[in-house]
Amino acid sequence: MKQQESTIEVSVSPIVYLMKNYADYNLWANATLINWLRTKPADILEKEVPSCFNSIKATIVHIWKTQRYWLSVIKRSEPDGFDEFNGMLEDAFKGLVEQSDILADYVKEMTGEAIEESTLVVSPWFQCDFQNFEYIMQVMNHSTYHRGQIITIGRNLGFTDAPMTDYNFYNIHGR
């Protein structure tokens, strides 16, 4: 993982700056969450709980798969992210952080034109034709949503020391 000081050009449009910064934030927030989870007993992280997904591990895998899917949309490549995951907890941790790094690198390399360009998505569940920055926001918001679920599940399992992963905290302390 290449968590480094953000080097986003200040001459880009505000939406381009935000997307690039938000991709770095997503990497930082996912890495921060995973580093915290690594301090917890693996058996508890795989324990079945009443939630959207049946464990913290399953939620991590879902975030990872969804990020892979939306990256394939933005790249206009074959959809990726729907294969079955049968790996260990540490594999899920590593996969999410590595994929977040790949996503951040890709977004940082996108031109302003590519970020503002529209991409048609036709899937079994929906069809849309939005600008790529909307898909980038979709994946970032999705990851944030599920990080919050993980914190809540952890709280219900007795974890009281969750890290701060808010966007503003990242902008002040995380970069």
Instruction: Provide the angle, in degrees to the nearest 10, between the axes of the packed helices 132-156 and 14-37.
Output: 20
Cα R_g (the chain), whole angstroms: 16
pLDDT of residue 69: 94
Helix (H) or strand (E) holding 124: none
Q: Which domains does the chain have, with CATH numbers?
A: 14-174 (1.20.120.450)
pLDDT digits 0-9 by tens, 21-62: 999 999 999 999 999 999 999 999 999 998 889 999 999 999
User: For residue 162, with 0-12 CB atoms within 10 Å meaning exposed, 13-18 middle and 19 or more buried, which class applies?
Assistant: middle
Q: Which of 44, 33, 50, 47 is nearest to 145 (CA)?
A: 33
Reported pTM: 0.92
Q: Which tens digits make up the pLDDT trace of 60-76?
A: 999 999 999 999 999 99
List C-alpha distances in Å: 118 to 43, 48, 80, 133.
44, 40, 20, 9
| Torsion sign (Cα): 62, 136, 69, 175 | negative
- Residue carrying the six token digits 């892979």: 68
pLDDT in tens, 130-167: 999 999 999 999 999 999 999 999 999 999 999 999 99
How far is it, in rounded angstroms, from Cα 107 to Cα 127? 23
The pLDDT tens digits of the residues spanning 90-146 come to 999 999 999 999 999 999 999 999 999 999 999 888 999 999 999 999 999 999 999
Q: Residue 80: pLDDT above 90? A: no
